[in-house]
Amino acid sequence: MTGKKEVLRVHNLKINLKRERRSYPLVKGVDFSLYEGETVALVGESGSGKSLTALSIMGLLPKPPLEIESGEILFDGRDLNKLSETEMEKIRGDKISMIFQEPMTALNPVFTVGEQIAEVLRYHRNYDKKSALAEAEKLLAHVGIPEPAKRAASYPHQLSGGMRQRAMIAMALACSPRILIADEPTTALDVTIQAQILKLLLDLKKEYGTTILLITHDLGVVAQAAQRTMVMYLGKILENALTDELFKKPIHPYTQGLLNSIPRIAAQKGPLTVIPGFVPNPWEIQQGCGFAPRCPKASERCFKEIPPYKEYGEGHWAACWEA
């Protein structure tokens, strides 16, 4: 992106699952960059490798059974894959933070919400206990939680789903990180609360200048929030473009299928359009394009050869033999 500073570069990331003395590829050579102040959406069906990619950036992959076979995750000139756990702890929660998919399981049930936010400040900013708790209350108020002192003294189960998600956002933003990874931040919430959380993230991004990697399967959220969108399927990024361009001129048949499956109330006639078939299991041996068995445009070549990643317009990349 012209004029923007690159803050993170993921190059040829490959993640495998070790199972019964065999290794199965889950993420298959992912490449992308994040630039200062932008919101990038990573979309795709469940099982496509979105969350694994995010966890690898955070250094939180469970090893075993998962392993990073190869690849670089470059941040401030350092490969995060090569850092020790002690070194990653200094980055995680400070310079790179993550909002997890389900706040009820991400928050510790035996500590109050205020204590958990305060812990981040005490570790990364050397606050004393009293100052950290006071700052935690300010952060809760900042993300729109009423009666922040009362909520700070509450345990996670005493808060609603929307408040828990706001508390997670407060914790993630406590140290004004340069990169915020939001993994399905609105999935488990009511529609009205989803809109509030999304607006909150975008408002806070403007205030802090944070780069956001938004992981979602909701294309409505993508259209509203993201400047750029990457489409992932079966461990590979199949298309990458500015969001407006992607929605107007999708190149890959998978992207076209995702966009065609969005319900359109005014123009809907007959059944919804769906992508046929299912995402294969990662331990099924495959050749060629992973989407070929479900693709209406697939040729014989698609089943045998992996398509190259090509630029079809300025900043619009896709991997498809039949594009």
Q: What is the pLDDT of residues 51-87, one digit of tens each?
A: 999 999 999 999 889 999 999 999 988 999 999 999 9
Closest listed residue to residue 197, CA positions, set 183, 211, 179: 183
Closest listed residue to residue 55, CA positions, set 70, 66, 40, 44: 66
The pLDDT value recorded for residue 238 is 97
DSSP assignment, residue 321? T
The pLDDT value recorded for residue 255 is 96
Counting as low any pLDDT under 50, the low residues of the chain are none
For the chain, the residue count is: 323
**From the candidate CATH numbers 3.30.470.30, 3.40.50.980, 3.40.50.10440, 3.40.50.300, the one assigned to the domain spanning 6-95+179-263+273-316:** 3.40.50.300
Q: For residue 114, what are its two tokens?
A: 């205020």
- What is the H or E stretch that residue 254 is in? helix 253-260
The pLDDT value recorded for residue 280 is 83
The pLDDT value recorded for residue 267 is 59
Structural domain boundaries in the chain: 6-95+179-263+273-316, 101-176
For every residue of 141-157, which 3-state class applies, written as one string? HHCCCCCHHHHHCCCHH
The pLDDT value recorded for residue 1 is 57
* Residues facing 28 on adjacent strands: 14
- In a 3-state reduction of DSSP, which class is residue 243? helix
DSSP assignment, residue 300? G
- In a 3-state reduction of DSSP, which class is residue 10? strand
- 267, amino acid identity: A
